[in-house]
Chains A and B, each alone.
Chain A
């Protein structure tokens, strides 16, 4: 063969493998409203940046007639590329090849690209679209999963790990996404569950569809397993790319700085907030009023909406925002919102992203269901995460900061670097009504008109204690600021925190209340 012939032969081989499961299987994939694995990879990565590896890998299974079957690329595509210039390692399961089932070599390809991502300290994106373990390969498939989970864990907090669920991801397979930092789902396409509708029907007689059991909406709203919900694959890819602009490439780097921009909001921030602490507002409006270009990238928007988390930029620098949301459940902390906030705080801390906390919360959600669901250990995660974090930590108290909530939401006492409060802040053990009822119980009970006396005492308490000045007098609050000063004072605080260096005692790792 001449050299040219060799090259032509290579091209032919590549072309064949790149067809994945072949035309018929691709047609089926498209009929399901899904893109192919290759299209997905190309859609996420910068144009012409994708380089593929292990294209010619083949499975080694011999039993059950597998020796006669050829599975192109063994059902998964791996490679490297860039997203807006950021180096990325990526794998995508190919449902058109044996249903994207995971066998030994399939797993070896995935672990290879994971090892590469970890060694090179670059983000990893994994696209999941697989029917599950390749049963013909028996325990080898299970070994494959385990080796993936192990790497997910070791890489956690070192490189960003992103999971994209674009098809079924069932059984043990779901634990890989669960171990990663961000999970993306698409309506009607993503399906995640440990036991599927079939088993549930056999065991329990309960009939539930895949969509109702583990569809995208379920995971985005109810379980909290998903962080980003999209209506289409394209929207999902745009979300992934946007996320990558906000995060650093590994835990030794800072997120790439962007050219600074002024907020879009030109009004008075205080006009966004009702004076009466019992009336709601959307705290996201406040965040958008503060960040560059009004660009706030919310995470887990639909889950535990009583707390808001996400990224924004202040003078081009990525900031993690944690904010109580008075619009939903009055902004209380409960089991779910505690989990949501705590995990995000730990993400920011792992990846050198300063945390700004906007506080307006009446306390923890009361109720037998909450107590029995373990609100103590869940709530403790927030305390743990804030206390442990060594990135710059800044709190702004907008209105209410009552009781345990005041302590939990990045208080001075948990190591906040800067504590600011608006003049509307009420920092107290509880709301004025409750406090007055206890402190002035005698006066109220003995009064001729108890209700009148109660109101009087509530008012008295409000004036004396429901303000930021008692805490400021102790130095627990560094400055009481006007709402319109918020952005500038945050910018300043960040500027002087640039070289923050806090060392905790050396340890293997802590024991957070998981």
Chain B
């Protein structure tokens, strides 16, 4: 059988079992609630144009930036009326999915 050292305590519901864990399980990330003030990319792409500056007051629906992905220029819109607190990307950046682009405040 397998090497005893690889066994770990593994809780399923109320029982704890001795077992091995696979890579997928070992690498899984704990779930975190999304912060509505953090604007993250929903698709990997290139930041084409940033339409706001730090400190700007922006109305819901106005364009924050243009994210080009899959040959499509996607307008990233302001989700609510608020202010731009921080801009974490610059024009021309190639970013992956879920990358933090802009931080807002109410």
Instruction: Compute how far the CA of A406 lies from the CA of B25 in the bound complex, rounded to whole angstroms.
Output: 23
Contact with B along A274-303 (1 / 0, CB 8 A): 000111111001000000000000000000
Contact with A along B14-41 (1 / 0, CB 8 A): 1111111111110011110000000000
Instruction: Compute how far the CA of A402 lies from the CA of B12 in the bound complex, rounded to whole angstroms.
Output: 11
> Could you tell me if A366 and B96 are in contact, using CB atoms closer than 8 angstroms?
no
> Could you tell me if A327 and B19 are in contact, using CB atoms closer than 8 angstroms?
yes
Chain B residues 17-71 with CB under 8 Å of chain A are 17-25, 28-31, 44-46, 69
Instruction: Compute how far the CA of A368 lies from the CA of B30 in the bound complex, rounded to whole angstroms.
Output: 8
> Could you tell me if B15 and A434 are in contact, using CB atoms closer than 8 angstroms?
yes
Selecting from A127-135, A203-211, A261-269, A412-420, the interface stretch reads: A203-211
Which residue in B15, B25, B46, B69 is a CB contact (below 8 Å) of A329?
A: B25
Chain B residues 82-97 with CB under 8 Å of chain A are 94-96
Interface of B is mostly: mixed
Interface of A is mostly: loop
Provided the pairs A369-B29, A369-B31, A372-B31 are in contact, do residues A327 and B2 lie with their beta carbons within 8 angstroms?
Answer: yes
Chain A residues 311-328 with CB under 8 Å of chain B are 326-328
Query: Given the complex, which residues of A lie within 8 Å of B17, measured CB to CB?
Result: 277-280, 326, 330, 362
> Could you tell me if A327 and B20 are in contact, using CB atoms closer than 8 angstroms?
yes
Instruction: Compute how far the CA of A306 lies from the CA of B17 in the bound complex, rounded to whole angstroms.
Output: 13
User: Considering only CB atoms, which chain A residue lies closest to B10 in the complex?
Assistant: A330
> Could you tell me if B1 and A434 are in contact, using CB atoms closer than 8 angstroms?
no
Query: Given the complex, which residues of B lie within 8 Å of A367, measured CB to CB?
Result: 28
Query: Given the complex, which residues of B lie within 8 Å of A336, measured CB to CB?
Result: 24
> Could you tell me if B14 and A278 are in contact, using CB atoms closer than 8 angstroms?
no
Minimum CB–CB distance from B66 to chain A (whole Å) comes to 16
Instruction: Compute how far the CA of A55 lies from the CA of B85 in the bound complex, rounded to whole angstroms.
Output: 68
User: Considering only CB atoms, which chain A residue lies closest to B19 in the complex?
Assistant: A330
Interface size grouping (class) on chain A: 35 or more
Provided the pairs A363-B13, A372-B31, A431-B13 are in contact, do residues A329 and B21 lie with their beta carbons within 8 angstroms?
Answer: yes
Minimum CB–CB distance from A320 to chain B (whole Å) comes to 23
Chain A residues 369-401 with CB under 8 Å of chain B are 369, 372
> Could you tell me if B23 and A326 are in contact, using CB atoms closer than 8 angstroms?
no
Number of residues on chain B facing chain A (CB within 8 A): 29
Minimum CB–CB distance from A429 to chain B (whole Å) comes to 11
Interface residue A213 (Cβ < 8 Å from any Cβ of B): no
Provided the pairs A204-B94, A329-B10 are in contact, do residues A278 and B44 lie with their beta carbons within 8 angstroms?
Answer: no
> Could you tell me if A205 and B19 are in contact, using CB atoms closer than 8 angstroms?
no
Query: Given the complex, which residues of A lie within 8 Å of B22, measured CB to CB?
Result: 304-306, 328-329
> Could you tell me if B44 and A369 are in contact, using CB atoms closer than 8 angstroms?
no
Contact with B along A107-133 (1 / 0, CB 8 A): 000000000000000000000000000
Query: Given the complex, which residues of B lie within 8 Å of A332, measured CB to CB?
Result: 12
Chain A residues 350-371 with CB under 8 Å of chain B are 362-363, 365-369
> Could you tell me if A362 and B12 are in contact, using CB atoms closer than 8 angstroms?
yes
Instruction: Compute how far the CA of A336 lies from the CA of B25 in the bound complex, rounded to whole angstroms.
Output: 11
Provided the pairs A206-B96, A305-B22, A329-B19 are in contact, do residues A434 and B14 lie with their beta carbons within 8 angstroms?
Answer: yes
Minimum CB–CB distance from B78 to chain A (whole Å) comes to 25
Provided the pairs A206-B96, A329-B10, A430-B13 are in contact, do residues A280 and B18 lie with their beta carbons within 8 angstroms?
Answer: yes
Minimum CB–CB distance from B104 to chain A (whole Å) comes to 25
> Could you tell me if B12 and A328 are in contact, using CB atoms closer than 8 angstroms?
no
> Could you tell me if B24 and A222 are in contact, using CB atoms closer than 8 angstroms?
yes
Minimum CB–CB distance from A217 to chain B (whole Å) comes to 11
User: Considering only CB atoms, which chain A residue lies closest to B25 in the complex?
Assistant: A329
User: Considering only CB atoms, which chain B residue lies closest to A331 in the complex?
Assistant: B19
Interface residue A29 (Cβ < 8 Å from any Cβ of B): no
Minimum CB–CB distance from A171 to chain B (whole Å) comes to 15
> Could you tell me if B14 and A203 are in contact, using CB atoms closer than 8 angstroms?
no
Minimum CB–CB distance from B40 to chain A (whole Å) comes to 15
User: Considering only CB atoms, which chain A residue lies closest to B9 in the complex?
Assistant: A278
> Could you tell me if A433 and B14 are in contact, using CB atoms closer than 8 angstroms?
yes
Instruction: Compute how far the CA of A362 lies from the CA of B14 in the bound complex, rounded to whole angstroms.
Output: 10
Minimum CB–CB distance from B22 to chain A (whole Å) comes to 6
Instruction: Compute how far the CA of A365 lies from the CA of B13 in the bound complex, rounded to whole angstroms.
Output: 9
> Could you tell me if B14 and A328 are in contact, using CB atoms closer than 8 angstroms?
no
Query: Given the complex, which residues of B lie within 8 Å of A304, measured CB to CB?
Result: 22
Minimum CB–CB distance from B26 to chain A (whole Å) comes to 10
Interface residue A437 (Cβ < 8 Å from any Cβ of B): yes
Would you give 26 A-B contacts (Cβ < 8 Å), ordered by A?
Answer: A205-B94, A206-B96, A277-B15, A277-B17, A278-B15, A278-B18, A279-B18, A280-B20, A282-B1, A304-B22, A306-B22, A326-B17, A327-B1, A329-B19, A330-B12, A330-B17, A330-B19, A331-B19, A365-B12, A369-B29, A372-B31, A430-B14, A431-B14, A433-B15, A434-B14, A437-B14
- Which 8 residue pairs are nearest across A and B when measured between Cβ atoms? A368-B31, A434-B14, A330-B17, A205-B94, A431-B15, A433-B14, A330-B19, A362-B12
The interface of chain A, by Cβ under 8 A from chain B, is 203-206, 221-222, 277-282, 285, 304-306, 326-332, 336, 362-363, 365-369, 372, 402, 430-431, 433-434, 437
The interface of chain B, by Cβ under 8 A from chain A, is 1-2, 7, 10, 12-25, 28-31, 44-46, 69, 94-96
